Amino acid sequence: MSDTLHRDQLSVQQQHDEELQPLIAGAFTEDESKDVPVCFYFKNNILMLKWRPPDAPLDEEWRIYHQIVVPRTYRREILSIAHEMPFAGHLGVNKTYHRILNHFYWPKLKSDVAKFGKTCQSCQIIGEPNQNIPVAPLKPIPAFEEPFSRVIIDCVGPLPKSRAGH
């Protein structure tokens, strides 16, 4: 599938998303957006958000963020990729939010990230990220009278079979 087809689908979805209509109505053309520090604009028929951090000098173009404005139909997929994929690491709300914000924007993004995290089964099982887990107390093992008078075994398993079948 070509990139043009994906861009066309994205553009159509943006145009049909009710939540994005006020943003579309006030959007600039790409040329009009050049001198505006924060604005919505169209680039190749795709609605984008441009913003410059307040501390970024005007001559540092690399500090300007250009984010795709995501219609409702694609949000769940982006949330899933940013939070659940192996490279994502099931990070908390702030880290997932900033990961998404590097490339994408939509209204109420942070609350959507928070809701998504609360519905993530893995995160619910494991609990809060970076929490302090109390260390199990150590219990002394009594001294034995002679070797092998007692045997202590750690039980682990079941373990998956190795490639060799062991």
Distances in whole angstroms, Cα of residue 114 to Cα of each of 2, 4, 148: 33, 32, 55
Q: Pairing state of beta strands 46-51 and 38-43?
A: antiparallel
CATH architecture classification, 3-126: Orthogonal Bundle (1.10)
- pTM exceeding the 0.75 threshold for the entire prediction: no
* Confidence band for 84, pLDDT divided at 50, 70 and 90: confident
| C-alpha span between 70 and 17 (Å, rounded) | 9
Q: How far is CA 11 from CA 33, 42, 45, 76, 111, in A?
A: 19, 10, 6, 17, 24
pLDDT score for 94:
87
Mean pLDDT, the chain, rounded, equals: 83
- Range with the lowest mean pLDDT among 34-43, 88-97, 103-112? 88-97
**Rounded distance between C-alpha atoms, residue 24 and residue 97, angstroms:** 23
Residues 116-132 pLDDT 10s: 888 877 777 666 655 56
Averaged over 4-22, what is the pLDDT?
88
pLDDT of residue 1: 41
For residue 41, the model assigns a pLDDT of 94
